[in-house]
Amino acid sequence: MLCPSGVKLKLPPIEPAIKSLKTKLRSHPELGASSFSSGGERERAVYPPGLALILNSCIDSCVEVIEKDSFTPRWFSGLQFVVCGKEVGDGIDRVKKLKHDLLAGLNKSPKISQNIELHWNIPQEDENNRRLLLPVEVKRFDAEMVKQAATYAREINSAIPFRAFELVLLYNHVSDQFRFLIFHRGGLTCSEPISLHSTSKTQYTLPDYTSLVEMFMSILSWTKEEDFGYS
């Protein structure tokens, strides 16, 4: 469902990206199971450096391969996850403005910070206003995460009502399960759970990042509005 439109089983190879990602993450032993998952602690404890570091490393590894394979301009060129803690400036139906601790935007100057206003939809980004592209929800209970993710999807759809789908990312920091959620006109589709941190508490071993790389390789290969859900 996330494969670029017009592409049938022909994305850039994922094996080099997986190898690159593992090389990057081996230099960060703090991502081991004993330190990355916060267990019963507040979800914000897992944001820096663990979750954002893994996602951004995955993006960097995929982009390395994509740029070798094709120079086609990408819709998400410069995508980056940042720890922010900012409220989104616009909302719908008098709903309380949502606050995001971890989100994805395009890596440009100025960087997303406390001085930047975030929006679900703006005609043009500038030095003071930036667009939120991929919301991330982190909690310990799946039901709560899906409910909150549906709120994000509703906000995205309200900003651009003719989208074919809305993409939200979830991470259960207790069970170590990362998922891609696609809200669409037929309901909700989600990926299989993906493990992000070390599988051992005594030895630093990396999990299988194949599914994570496959998902991001598809997203980062988008080149047209239709790929991102615009119908």
pLDDT value for 40: 47
Cα angle: 62, vertex 65, 66; to 5 degrees: 85
User: Nearest CA to 82 among 51, 60, 110, 58?
Assistant: 51
pTM: 0.84
Label residue 94 left, alpha or beta by phi (over 0 means left) and psi (-120 to 50 means alpha): left
Give the per-residue pLDDT at 215.
Answer: 94
> What is the pLDDT, as a whole number, of residue 24?
93
Q: Give, for all 231 residues of the chain, the pLDDT tens digit.
A: 888 776 555 788 999 999 999 999 888 776 665 445 444 455 555 554 588 899 999 999 999 999 887 767 788 888 888 877 667 766 655 556 666 668 787 777 667 766 778 877 777 777 778 778 888 998 889 999 999 899 888 888 877 777 788 899 999 988 889 999 999 888 899 999 999 876 655 555 788 999 999 999 999 988 877 776 665
Question: For residues 2 and 188, what is the distance between their CA atoms, to the nearest angstrom?
Answer: 13
**Between β-strands 177-184 and 117-119, what pairing exists: parallel, antiparallel or unpaired?**
unpaired
SS3 assignment, position 53: helix
Closest listed residue to residue 101, CA positions, set 121, 123, 81 = 81
What is the structure's pLDDT at 42? 53
